[in-house]
Amino acid sequence: MTDLLSLLPPGSDVDGGVLRISGCRVDDLAREFGTPAIVVAEPALRARAREYREEAAKRWPRARVVFASKSFPATAVQRVMVEEGLGLDVAGGGELRSAVKAGIDPALLVLHGNAKSTDEIEYAVQAGAGLVVVDNADDVDRLEAAVPLGSTQGVLVRVVPGIESSTHPHVATGQIGSKFGLTPPAAKALIERIERSPRLSMQGVHAHVGSQILDPSELAAAVEPLAAMGQFPVYDLGGGLGARYTYDEHPPAVADYLDALLGAARAHLPAEAEIIIEPGRSMVNAAAATLYTVTTVKRDARNFVAVDGGMGDNLEVALFGQRYEAALAARMDEEPAEDAVIVGRHCESGDVLIDGIRLPAAKVGDLLVVPATGAYTHTMANNYNGYRRPPVVFANEGQARAVVRRETWEDLFARDV
């Protein structure tokens, strides 16, 4: 139990064998909000945002922390980041609009994407987005058409730094051949074009090595290739720091990550430049856990414990084999008694949440908690098999509130014509 608490949102504890997240008993949460439910410890979320902002400021006077909204693009999560003094990185029209709804100062918006539509670029310009990260020449064409004469739009050019990272290929983005960004020669040519444009303001360059990277030196390695592009007011070093999912993983602390990244910046970049970092997964993952109900226990060729969710609310396992841990959330004081495979309710053999774990003997109706689900679960939830996407519940010192409600059956058919 002690080990699992180290993976659960900071501030979690156990009351009479029942898990509490930020003072809220999970059995009470299940009765009020149903399962599955993504439960976020709001104090932990806020503390992590402050940690990033304060630690970055200690190391670089003009550091700007911009939350990578794609990791958890709920409006309420974006609003927390805004309230804690962070900017927002958005990818696409939906994240852009929710950022505006969350109250972001448009000057602190950074728009990403390798295939931005004309509508998205026009909305970003109209909203006053501070920076648009240009991924290709078509972005420049659309921006020049969208920006009114007499106005200018700040842009960054995304550069492929040529870094082969140790992460899964599905979330690696810094290698030559990535669909994102431009090789240095192509980027230099586009920079020259932007510098001649009366409607665009060339602010700097951007690079991103990948996601779930546990070695900060791989992230810091992107700094020198950006420095080689020239001197600019802004250098966006991206995000990518990995999060802890299992007992065996030990990502670097935020301070150690920033020491490596901003140490490289001190060695290669102008001291007066603004440095942007874009944490996502490492910002939100530890602050949340997903609560399920056991619906079936099948002890046969294997011991299958099936829950009322699965790949409809967590695609990380199916996409790149992410490993998770789990516990029976209302039986936290019991010792493991058997091996189990935690599976979901969807009609796919790949709908496996945890392929092998020790648990007390599970029974129908048990609550199961999976820690470390703050990143890329809500954002990639889907309606496979008519699944209704789960709520997001904020827990805060014994009080709980839904910030995203569970989908209804009516929601499933709202787009029918």
DSSP-assigned states of every residue in 158-187: EB------SS-GGGB-SSTT-SSSB-HHHH
Q: Are 209 and 168 in contact (CB under 8 A)?
A: no
- Per DSSP, the three-state class of 45 is helix
- Cα within 13 Å of Cα(8), Cβ side: 26
Give the residue from 25, 27, 28, 29 showing the smallest Cα distance to 14.
25
Q: Is 347 a catalytic residue?
A: yes
Residue 201 sits at φ, ψ, to 5 deg, of: -115, 110
Which residue out of 149, 271, 301, 347 is catalytically annotated?
347
- 405: its two tokens: 């409600």
Rounded-to-10 torsion of CA 291, 296, 299, 303: -30
Strands (E), 73-127: 87-91, 109-112
Terminal-residue alpha carbon distance, the chain: 50
Active site residues: 347
